[in-house]
Structure 1
Amino acid sequence: MAGTIQNRDLFLSKIAQQLGHAPKTELTRPTWQYQPQDRVLKNATKDELVEVLVNQCKYIDTEILITNTANLSNALQKVVENYGGHSVITWKDERFQSYGLSSLMTEQWPQANIQLYEWNSEQPEENIRQAEKANIGITISEITLAESGTAVLFSSKDKGRSVSFLPENSIILIPKSTIVPRMTQAARLISEKIRNGEQIASCINFITGPSNSADIEMIPVIGVHGPIKATYIVIEDR
C-alpha cells in the first residue's frame, strides 16, 4: 500500500523560518572540483578489469574461471562436480538457455543423479525448502565490481535471493560485459536505470565471495551467514 505525504511544504517552511532563511524550492546538484572516485581504473579495458577481478578473488577466498559460451557448459559441470554435485537450485532465468546450459541442466544432471530445482514464484515455501537443502546455488551477476570482487544480484519473483544465501556452495556466472571498475560505476548504472524509468529490483545484493565475518576478535570465519565456498565463472560474451 502506497503512503502519502501531507503538509510537506508547510512543515519544511516552518523549519526554514526557525533557521532564519527562506525555504528552497529548487535544488541544484553540486559540481565537485575533485572526484577521486572516478580515477581508480578509469581507463582500464575489459581485459584489464578481468585481471583485477582475478587478483582480487585471491583475497576473498573465491575460485574464478574464465571461459566462453562454447565451453561454459563444461566449465560449469566441472565446478558442480568439484562441489560434490547432489542438488542444485537456480533462478528461473532465460540467460541459462541463451548460454547453452539447457542440455546440461535438464538432461546430463538427472542422468548423473544431480537434482535440479528451478525457482518457482508460485511456490514460495517450496522455494525456501529447496534452497535450504540444495548443495549448490547458481545465479548470474548483473554488475560486477572488479576492484572488490563483488557480484551484484538483482532479485525478482523469478530470482529469489535465497538461491545465493542458503546453499552451502555458490556459483555466480559473470558475463564479461557486466564488469566495471568499482562501486562508483555500479551506483551510476543503477541510478541511470531509475532515471530511465526501468523497473528496479526491490532487493539488490552485493556479494563478495563466500560468507565471512571477522566481527569477533578480528578472527575471520567463513560461512557464518551464507555459502562456505564460492566460484565465479567469467563468460567472454563480447
Structure 2
Amino acid sequence: MAGMIQNRDKFLNQIASRLERPRISSSVERPTWKFQPQYEVLKDATQDELLEVLTEQCKKIHTNIYVTDKKDLATTLNKVVSGYGGGPIVTWKDERFSQWGLDPLLNKEWPAQKIEVYEWDHLKGKENIAKAEKANVGITISEVTLAESGTVVLYSDENKGRTVSFLPATYIALIPKSTLVPRITQAAQKMREIHKKTGHVASCINFITGPSNSADIELNLVVGVHGPVKASYIVINDL
C-alpha cells in the first residue's frame, strides 16, 4: 500500500508563515542555464576510454581493479576473495550472479576451500545484519559506475541489503562495463530514465568510492575507518 502524506499543507503553511513570505504552491519552472560545463566532461568518451579513466582513478582511491569476461569471472572472483583471506562471504540475492556463472562459487562450492557464503534474505530480518558483521567479504553489483570519481552506485531493496557493502572487512563490487558513465551528471540522468520507465525508486541509493576513509583529524588520510578496509572492483565485459 502506498504511503499517505498527512498534514502536509498545514506544515508547509507554517514554514512559510515563519519565513514571513507567501507559500509558493505553483510548479517551479526549470531554468535554462547559459553554461552547463557538467555535460562536457568526457562527453564523447567510449566505454573503453571510460574504463581507462576508471582504472587511473582507482589508483587514487586505494582500490584494486580487475577486468574480465563473463567466462573468466568466477576465476577472477575466486582470486580476489582468496587474496582477502577467504570467507565468510555475504552477498545480495540477485539473479545476475547465476547469469554470470557464479553459482558454483556462491553455493558453498568454493574451489580453494570450504567457505561460508550467506545470501541476503529479507525474511530473516536482523540475522542478515549479524551475518554481514561477521563477514570478511561483501559482494554487490554496481548499477551505475562513475568513471571520473571511481564511484559505484548501489540500489537497495528487500534482496539487496545496504550493510553488505559496509559491514564486512573487505568489499568487492562487480561492475558490468555497460554501466560506466563519465560522472554523477550522467548517473543522475540514468537514474531519472529508470524512474520514468519503471515508476520505481530504490529504497536507498548508495554512492561508494573505494574503501572507507577519513581525513577529519589533522587532514591525515586514514583508510578503513568506518567500513571495509580494502576494496576491489571487477569490471565485466558485457558489451
Above 0.5 in TM-score? Answer: yes
Distance 1:24 1:136, change over 3 A: closer
CA distance, structure 1, for counterparts of residue 25 and residue 104 of structure 2? 60
> What does residue 150 of structure 1 align with?
151
Confirm or deny: 8 A CA contact 1:60 1:208 kept in the other structure. yes
Contact 1:109/1:116 (8 A) holds in 2 = no
* Counterpart secondary structure, 1:117: strand
Once residues 133 and 159 of structure 1 are traced to their aligned partners in structure 2, the CA distance between those partners, rounded to angstroms, is: 17
User: Alpha carbons of 1:123 and 1:7: their partners in 2 closer, same or farther (altered >3 Å)?
Assistant: closer
In structure 2, the CA distance between the partners of 1:30 and 1:169, relative to structure 1 (3 Å rule), is same
| 1:85 CA drift (Å) | 0.6
Q: Alpha-carbon deviation of 1:234?
A: 0.2
Counterpart of 2:141 in structure 1 is: 140
State the aligned residue count.
Answer: 234
**Per-residue deviation, 1:108:** 2.7
CA distance in 2, matches of 1:61, 1:50: 17
Per the alignment, residue 4 of structure 2 pairs with 2
1:4-19 paired onto structure 2 within 5 Å: 4-5=6-7, 7=9, 11=13
Aligned to 2:101: 100
Deviation at 1:63, TM superposition (A): 0.1
Does the residue aligned with 1:206 lie in a helix, a strand or coil? strand
Structure 1 vs Structure 2: percent identity of aligned residues?
Answer: 55
User: Kindly tell me: are residues 208 and 6 of structure 1, through their superposed partners in 2, closer, same or farther at Cα, counting changes over 3 Å?
Assistant: closer
Q: 1:116 to 1:6 in 2, by over 3 A?
A: closer
| Distance change in 2, residues 1:97/1:4 (3 Å) | same
Structure 2 equivalent of residue 222 of structure 1: 223
- Deviation at residue 125 of structure 1 after TM alignment: 1.4
Q: Contact 2:211–2:223 (CA<8 Å) still a contact in 1?
A: yes
Q: Aligned partners of 1:94, 1:189: CA distance in 2, in Å?
A: 22
- 1:115-135 alpha-carbon deviations (Å, 9 max, x no partner): 110001111111011101111
- 1:68 match: 69
CA RMSD of superposed structures (Å)? 2.2
Distance 1:230 1:4 in 2: 43
Q: Which amino acid aligns with 1:94?
A: E
Q: Where do 1:18-97 residues align within 5 Å?
A: 25-97=26-98
TM-score, with normalisation over the residues of structure 1?
0.91
Instruction: Spell out, residue by residue over 1:5-41, the C-alpha distance to the aligned partner (whole angstroms, 9 max, x if none).
Output: 4546x949x87xx75x996734321111110000000
Q: TM-score, normalised by structure 2?
A: 0.91
Which structure 2 residue ranges, 5 or more long, are not aligned? none
Residues 70 and 7 from structure 1, CA distance in 2 versus in 1: closer, same or farther, beyond 3 angstroms?
A: closer
Per the alignment, residue 167 of structure 2 pairs with 166
Residue type at the aligned position of 1:81: S
Taking the aligned partners of 2:24 and 2:235, their CA distance within structure 1 comes to: 51
Structure 1: gaps of 5 or more residues = none
Q: Does residue 208 of the first structure (1) align with residue 206 of the second (2)?
A: no
